[in-house]
């Protein structure tokens, strides 16, 4: 009887040691899983943060490139205008004066041979005059090419960069003369506002289609940005730092920004006076 009792106690002790050991092992496995999960989540969050930083750097680089291109275009425009004016006012004017003097000399000449030579020279001067005049006008017209073409290209690049995923359809429609009366400084602000609006769509809207329309009427520049997402929530619309930043930038250039929900998606409207 005593022997059986000892055996039972030994068996119970062994079972207790077994479960105690397994429990410690289970705790160790659970701790390892938790640590591994935390590491994976940390790595995932760091990757997301890194992607956002890269995207922001690309957007900033895009804006800086737009500034440089606009500045270079303005310099080229001023140079072309100056050359065109110099050609028209100086060289073409000189040739016109020479042509008039030659015509006077021809009319006063009594020698037919001299008159013939003078006439040939006069015709050559007239050809040179017409060529210079045409070149100056073409150069001046080239200088007047609308800068909105570059603006349109930049918005295309910005949109394609932000909406690079295949899940988005980005449509852009900018009227030819939409930005004709908009100074360079205001265009920079519009670029920044549209960049912020694009990023907000990607972050919050769950949209698949984005439409941007830019046009000008007699008094104002109008910009309409629509998406087919879930719309603005009331809790986000007024408190969002991005929305506040957009409103301040538009107010700084004496514009008006409106945000509203449509039956499908949301719309941002911007109005900039041109008078």
pLDDT (tens digit, 9 = 90+) per residue, 99-143?
777 777 777 766 666 667 777 777 777 777 677 667 666 655 555
Q: Please tell me the pTM assigned to this model.
A: 0.52
CB 199 within 8 A of CB 63: no
In the predicted structure, residue 255 carries a pLDDT above the cut 50: yes
Q: Which range has highest mean pLDDT (94-108, 118-132, 187-201, 225-239)?
A: 187-201
CB 179 within 8 A of CB 151: yes
Q: What is the average per-residue pLDDT within 81-97?
A: 65
Q: Who has greater pLDDT, 165 or 236?
A: 165
What pLDDT shows up at residue 130?
73
What pLDDT shows up at residue 146?
46
Q: Could you count the other beta carbons within 10 Å of the beta carbon of residue 213?
A: 16
Mean pLDDT of the chain: 75
Q: What is the average per-residue pLDDT within 242-252?
A: 89
Q: Who has greater pLDDT, 239 or 255?
A: 255
For the CA atoms of the chain, what is the radius of gyration?
Answer: 37
Phi then psi for 208, rounded to 5 degrees? -125, -10
- Using a pLDDT cut of 70, give the percent of the chain over it: 62
Reported as a pLDDT band with limits 50, 70 and 90, residue 250 is very high
Q: What is the average per-residue pLDDT within 176-185?
A: 76
In the predicted structure, residue 217 carries a pLDDT above the cut 60: yes
Q: What is the average per-residue pLDDT within 6-10?
A: 57
Q: Which CATH number fits domain 146-273: 1.10.10.10, 3.30.450.20, 3.20.20.140, 3.30.565.10?
A: 3.30.565.10
What pLDDT shows up at residue 60?
67
What pLDDT shows up at residue 148?
55
What pLDDT shows up at residue 271?
94
Q: Could you count the other beta carbons within 10 Å of the beta carbon of residue 95?
A: 20
159 closest CA partner among 178, 172, 147: 172
What pLDDT shows up at residue 89?
63
Per the document, the length of the chain is 275
What pLDDT shows up at residue 9?
60
What pLDDT shows up at residue 10?
65
Query: Who's near 71: CB < 8 A, 6+ residues apart?
Result: none
Q: Who has greater pLDDT, 111 or 226?
A: 226
């Amino acid at each position: 009887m005593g022997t059986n009792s000892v055996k039972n106690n030994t068996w119970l002790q062994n079972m207790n040691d077994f479960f105690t050991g397994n429990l410690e092992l289970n705790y160790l496995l659970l701790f390892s899983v938790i640590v591994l999960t935390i590491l994976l989540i940390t790595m995932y969050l760091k990757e997301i943060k890194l992607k956002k930083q890269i995207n922001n750097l690309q957007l900033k680089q895009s804006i800086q490139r737009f500034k440089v291109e606009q500045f270079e275009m303005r310099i080229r425009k001023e140079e072309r205008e100056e050359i065109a004016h110099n050609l028209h006012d100086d060289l073409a004017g000189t040739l016109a004066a020479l042509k008039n003097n030659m015509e006077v000399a021809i009319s006063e000449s009594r020698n037919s041979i001299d008159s013939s030579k003078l006439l040939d020279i006069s015709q050559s001067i007239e050809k040179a005059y017409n060529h210079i005049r045409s070149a100056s006008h073409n150069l001046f017209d080239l200088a007047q090419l609308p800068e909105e073409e570059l603006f349109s290209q930049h918005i295309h690049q910005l949109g394609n960069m932000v909406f690079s995923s295949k899940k988005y359809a980005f449509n852009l429609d900018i009227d030819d003369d939409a930005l004709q009366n908009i100074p360079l400084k205001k265009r920079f602000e519009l670029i920044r506002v549209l960049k912020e609006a694009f990023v907000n769509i990607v972050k919050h809207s769950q949209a698949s289609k984005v439409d941007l329309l830019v046009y000008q009427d007699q008094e104002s520049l109008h910009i309409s940005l629509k998406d087919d997402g879930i719309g603005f929530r009331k809790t986000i619309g007024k408190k969002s730092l991005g929305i506040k930043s957009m409103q301040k930038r538009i107010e700084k250039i004496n514009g008006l920004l409106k945000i509203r929900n449509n039956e499908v998606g949301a719309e941002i409207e911007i109005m900039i006076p041109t008078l």
